[in-house]
Amino acid sequence: MIGGRPSGPLDDSPDGILAARAADGDVVAFEVLVYRHGALMRAYAAKVLGSDADADDVVQDVFFQAWEQLDRLTDVDAVRSWLMRMVSNRSIERIRRRKDHVNVDDWDAPSAVHDSPDRVVEARLRMGALAKAVDALPASQRECWVLREMGGVPYSEIAEQLDIPISTVRGQLARARRTIIKEMEAWR
């Protein structure tokens, strides 16, 4: 049994085979991909969004999108990074759409006013600049950076998830951090 799902003949199949079969309409192959990668996707989204409910919504949306677009995936062996990139993008979109609302019942409380409008705008612009810098990274650097810096995933797990050596993870992170520091210099 894998993650509460009865084990089956496809459980040991590589992601590429599962993705190709799922692209051809094999629901069981897609189910194995969901169980194989869903927990990491959810953990990452929850860390980024700070909300389990939002994370569940994002992951569910990504799986619907993935099911519809699997036939357009050019490298079926990169399905994990493709799914994580979609979760990252969808999480960032959700953060951008959030609006800060003040509860009407709390208007008399001094804590209801958190920051001045200038500070809120500056923070949003800074987050937008960071998102743009992260989006501009090469895919391998972006995946490592997002998993480590936003998801808090240990180096060893990143290496395992992306099927690369830990030394490569360290190198990708170092290059990504250098680029982001350079791109964010104006915000210091």
Q: How far is CA 17 from CA 20, 36, 164, in A?
A: 5, 13, 19
Domain-wise residue ranges, the chain: 1-98, 113-188
What pTM, to 2 d.p., does this model score?
A: 0.56
148: which DSSP letter?
I
Residue 113 pLDDT grade (very low, low, confident, very high; cuts 50, 70, 90): very low
Range from 43-47, 111-115, 129-133 carrying the lowest mean pLDDT: 111-115
Q: Which CATH architecture has domain 113-188?
A: Orthogonal Bundle (1.10)
Rounded Cα distance between 84 and 90, Å, is 10
Contacts of 11 (CB under 8 A, 6+ apart): 2, 32
Q: Is residue 106 predicted with pLDDT exceeding 70?
A: no
Residue 7 pLDDT grade (very low, low, confident, very high; cuts 50, 70, 90): low
Rg (CA), the chain: 19
Q: Is residue 99 predicted with pLDDT exceeding 70?
A: no
Average confidence score pLDDT of the chain: 81
Q: Is residue 38 predicted with pLDDT exceeding 80?
A: yes
Q: Which residue has the tokens 């650097």?
A: 141
Q: State the CB neighbour count (10 A cutoff) for residue 138.
A: 11
Q: What pLDDT is recorded for position 109?
A: 42
Fold entry, domain 1-98:
Rna Polymerase Sigma Factor; Chain: A (1.10.1740)
Question: Identical fold at 1-98 and 113-188?
Answer: no
Q: State the CB neighbour count (10 A cutoff) for residue 179.
A: 18
